[in-house]
Amino acid sequence: MKAAKLPVRQLIILSICRFAEPIVFTSVLPYLPELIEYVGVQKTEVAKWVGISSAVASVCQAIMAVPWGTLSDHVGRKPVILFGLACTMVISIMLGMSQTLAMVIISRSLFGLMNGNVGILRTMVAEIVPQRELQPRAFSLMPLVWTIGSIFGPAFGGALAHPAEKHPDLFGGIQFFERYPFALPNLASACFFLVGITTGFLFLEETLEAKKGQYDPGLALGKALTSPCTTRRRHRNGFQGLDEERTALLPNDETLTHKKTTKNARPRWSDIFTPQTSLVLLSYTLISGLGMSFDSVLPVFLHYPVQDLQNDPNVQLPLKFASGFGVDAPQIGLFYTIIGIIGMVIQFMFFPPVAKRYGVLKCFKVAAVLLPAVFFITPFTALAPERLRIPLVLIVMLIKLGATIFGIPCCTILLTNSASSMSVLGTLNGVGTSLSALGRAAGPALIGAAFSWGIKQGYVILPWWLLGTIGMTSVIPAFWIVEQDGPYRELNKEEEQQEQQEEQVQPPEQVKQADTKKDRFKRPASKRYGSISGKRIIARGH
């Protein structure tokens, strides 16, 4: 019996669909202050409106994540994802062509309102990878895609903004780019969206159980387009291995035509918010807000001028001081690029084996403890000798990144496995996306205000210790969480019942052989067969 394998091709297709979003979301960061100033906002007010535009996007995402997740539970995951990608592509172009502050705010709001793909993509990963031993690697893939996109996104946006001024040989004299200096980054991002939409339409399989048996014109077209290649491979390999090469990317004929009878009952809220699910959602909200708060206030801390700790009468060490690093914006960007590259390696190379060995719950507990420790230590890096300040702050950034790299995917896995049934996965991930967006909106606003007030009072430690205190409260629910078996328990039970029915009609010799094999493989059926559909996979390498 073959061991369960990751559905690599379907995960790659999901990654292609996901890749455009971090590109467009992070490419805005370098030129957003310039865009807001371009539409008529005074320089002294630019920072405020940058914060407002970011908060508006998160709040709108929080409002609509649950409705999008619930919709995907009824109409299917694939159409909602493709619709979200198309809307985000159009809205990003609208943002780049904004000429007024109102249009900027409306565009940022629509970013959150019209795209619920974050939670739905997590749901699809959970549905195509039900095996718990494979979940750490599978669930680390989407954050890895975001990390890669967020490394290239800022450079992408900074290089293509103001093309007529920065690249006169290529774009000089083009009236469109002179009138809309921020349109090119978003037009270029549209190419990534088109690739994602096309790939998803042709090759992405529906994972919602109630919709799997329905005819999909996109998959049928994709199969027709790739049939010449598969036909040549069939002749070359003597008809062997065709399904193994093809089925992970395209469904077989049975997937396109077989009709299922499963009905999609509307879940009750009591089915969604179980005690364990509520604990995981609370932890997820806190860790998301804490991570975003750190990322928003750290650049301000690094950019703040260095204080004369020896001669300033307002300094009373070790607690009362208001010193930063005096680092400029390009150097701060370099810090984040270095840490992002290291984080990509950690996420891909270290997270899956560590989580598999020690378990996602233990890893999450360690991450929850590390975060407040990092927050309490961070302000004191400004007191270190000058030659040690930058290395120390990079170490702090790396520890924080490692904690979130382990904490957020582990929390996502715990949330998925806490679901009471498959029917609530889409809604549950939508709720998780909404709550995390609220945390990412409220956290930076609170910590930013605390930083401004603390600096005026001479205490730069105030925002960091406030963040650390909140982080300590997030540790409490982490130690109350109990890892669950996941929503696949129902499917596994059905598989076991099907096995028993098959054994009743088998000859005694075959039953004895089956019993011997069952003793050798005492694992859930979904893990033995590598399937959540209750169907044995023998010849195909899923």
Tell me, what's the pLDDT at 255? 40
| pLDDT at 519 exceeding the cut of 50 | no
Share of the chain above pLDDT 90, in %: 19
Tell me, what's the pLDDT at 144? 79
| pLDDT at 498 exceeding the cut of 70 | no
Q: How far is CA 178 from CA 98, 161, 307, 402, in A?
A: 13, 11, 43, 43
Tell me, what's the pLDDT at 493? 56
Segment 438-459 shows an average pLDDT of 81
- 267 in Cβ contact with 424 (< 8 Å): yes
| Mean pLDDT (the chain, rounded) | 77
Most confident of 165-179, 386-400, 427-441: 386-400
Segment 118-139 shows an average pLDDT of 79
Tell me, what's the pLDDT at 302? 81
For 88-92, 168-172, 332-336, 474-478, which range has the lowest pLDDT when averaged over its residues? 332-336
Top-confidence residue, 503 or 437: 437
| pLDDT at 121 exceeding the cut of 50 | yes
Report the half-sphere exposure of 31 (CA within 13 A, side-chain side).
Answer: 30
What are 391's two structure tokens? 């290395």
Q: How far is CA 168 from CA 28, 154, 172, 245, 299, in A?
A: 22, 21, 4, 48, 32
| pLDDT at 244 exceeding the cut of 50 | no
Tell me, what's the pLDDT at 239? 38
Quote the distance between the C-alpha of residue 173 and its chain's center. 40
Token look-up 């997937």 returns 255
Segment 136-151 shows an average pLDDT of 78
Report the half-sphere exposure of 294 (CA within 13 A, side-chain side).
Answer: 29
pLDDT in tens, 36-78: 888 888 765 665 677 677 778 888 888 888 888 889 888 999 9
**CA quadruple 164, 165, 166, 169: dihedral positive or negative?**
positive
Segment 312-333 shows an average pLDDT of 76
Top-confidence residue, 398 or 229: 398
Q: How far apart are CA 76 and CA 212, in angstroms?
A: 9
CATH architecture of 269-478: Up-down Bundle (1.20)
Tell me, what's the pLDDT at 313? 75
Tell me, what's the pLDDT at 494? 54
Share of the chain above pLDDT 70, in %: 77
Segment 403-424 shows an average pLDDT of 82
Q: How confident is the model at residue 505 (pLDDT cuts 50, 70, 90)?
A: low
Most confident of 183-197, 445-459, 507-521: 183-197
N-to-C CA span, the chain: 13
Tell me, what's the pLDDT at 527? 39
Q: How confident is the model at residue 167 (pLDDT cuts 50, 70, 90)?
A: confident
Q: Which CATH number fits domain 8-212: 1.20.1250.20, 3.10.150.10, 3.40.50.150, 3.20.10.10?
A: 1.20.1250.20
| pLDDT at 326 exceeding the cut of 60 | yes
Segment 331-341 shows an average pLDDT of 76
For 7-16, 198-207, 491-500, which range has the lowest pLDDT when averaged over its residues? 491-500
| pLDDT at 19 exceeding the cut of 50 | yes
pLDDT in tens, 256-299: 343 443 444 555 666 677 888 888 889 988 998 898 888 877 87
Q: How far apart are CA 269 and CA 244, in angstroms?
A: 40
Comparing C-alpha atoms, which of 206, 229, 208, 233 is closest to residue 217? 206
Tell me, what's the pLDDT at 500? 60
Tell me, what's the pLDDT at 107? 93
Q: How confident is the model at residue 400 (pLDDT cuts 50, 70, 90)?
A: very high
Q: How confident is the model at residue 489 (pLDDT cuts 50, 70, 90)?
A: low
Q: How far apart are CA 247 and CA 294, in angstroms?
A: 44
Alpha helices in 359-488, H assignment, sequence order: 360-377, 386-417, 425-457, 461-478
Q: What is the pTM of this model?
A: 0.64
Q: How far apart are CA 387 and CA 474, in angstroms?
A: 34
Segment 242-256 shows an average pLDDT of 38
Segment 82-89 shows an average pLDDT of 94
In the chain, list all ranges with CATH 1.20.1250.20.
Answer: 8-212, 269-478
